[in-house]
Structure 1
């Protein structure tokens, strides 16, 4: 008889498997098991909304269904056991035993969504059952006033109560339970075996543990909500800071044009021949209006500038300084290739010139911080009356600094605001195999 060799090319010999592993060599996915327990724990500590079962907020179906499965299993086990014990051990009639068993167990299903309503029914049934057992005179050393099945069902009810009700309600339930146990202890000390103490202790522990879990979940939910609000506020503050910084820079651009208007209006009567008095007055009014506008702009700049910020006294940079920017970036360890198209020979509006320079500057700064050792390509050209700026870099080739593992988000926010204020568009995102690309289109008109 011929034996076919295995398809995987092995010799067909059986190799010993590691202890604890199945014979086929498959490994138990402990990570999946841990993840399942983690999700279950998160769902357990997440407060459920009114009228919804515990774990109702869980994303997975098996977690949401688990409370129903557990409670149904308890009911299915406790109901026949309770009837059997009451009939055979305590000698109650079948009808009374069945009614008590139903009242003591079935409301546990209601406790998934309305635990306090279920408690009223179950505790009342427990009290009636204790009176019935005491009247039957068939205790003979058996548990009284609470049989074991009653204790198990009541502790489960306390768990469901602790996950839903308020602290005041839980304290009231615990005190009523204690009063009921003490009452029956005084009613018949001969029949009582102290089971009421056991149920009281277990009920108290269940209430404390589940209520603590719920408080922890509520605290985590509030913390997550506060972190979301803080992130939104931080993003809004970043946006406002970038807008203020851009406005301060554009102030110099506008102030330059206003100064030119003022000088031209003031010197028109000396530069132009045969200027009539009416035209001289018109030029004087234009100059006065320009000087007043400059004064108001300086006041606006004081409002935008922070108290700690210092006024910039150097000229604003433009595309003419791209070569200096590229050289400084190379000294920082990034190989920069600069490609300036022929369409850039003409004049570019000063606001557009400044915005384009800042976009390139910020993009190269991001390459230095987040992609050390990567090469970068800067392309600048004018097409269809639009200034097109593209900065593309490859993946990082050096380890990322610990200080640069997270950013403040100012860079992209500032670039988007500059482009938006000039009526353009910006496209920024991953590019190629681990690289990044920033592409801006700014209209010149």
Structure 2
């Protein structure tokens, strides 16, 4: 982590997409087949009472259309050709059936093709269907019949385009959710790893310096490294299980599942881990902390953790840091101030890196505000104001 600012990242769950599921294909077939049978089948049966064998052939052609609809998702162009040819055959055998009604199955396939296929292909299919306008005129309907046919065909294509746009919106929302979830996981892992590793690096350096002359102090530093590593491993394990598959979460031990996550209640332990590096840490609490929502509690803790990590890694000459957390009934105010300085042009300068981006995003998600930057008299301050209940 570094002293940086920038655009908030986006934070979320990967969703599988692609073609229709087998269940959706079956549902689509049952719906479209039922529509064709109910409308066209009934019309053919009623219109063919005086046509003997022609009615039987027309009903067989209706059956061909219904059967072909099963493949309307896998091969919509071929199915469109089959259903259109069969529909024209029905109309030729029984002229009393309107061409619009006889081509009902083809219109259904056109709608599916418009919704799921490439747009250029669906536009070509629409143009091909419009080429049948002379047949609609020849059917005896005149201009009105042609208008009805064209309206039916265009509406079928438009309905498919509407469904296509709806699917695109859902896909965009899923992509945004995936990006948000990934960013959230990245922030959580960064918060756990960055702080612990920073403390461990400093402790390891201290142990190496005094290993021969003061072995007891070296052992103390090594024990602090072990404690910090165990704590980080525990947090990472909980984090991975929380974000993992359901069966992985179910396999976790009951005792570990009940282990509370990081919160302001662990502020003293967090301060102790920094004190172990030789940094003086003063912690001040004001107000009642019991009413905080879990999200705000975690956010406040992470802000303190990142700010302390920032001090350890980038505050040149810092030997003291002050942490103040105040709850005034409606808001939680978190202020972390150190007495170090940040060299100009270094990667820790304000505006570089990603450190404060994560903090800003955390604060934004709970409806709060964040201010961070160097102080006029020296030092660096991170100040956040969070609503008690969260956004």
TM-score, structure 2 as length reference: 0.48
User: What TM-score, normalized to structure 1?
Assistant: 0.43
* Bigger relative contact order, structure 1 or 2 (CA pairs below 8 A, ≥6 apart): 2
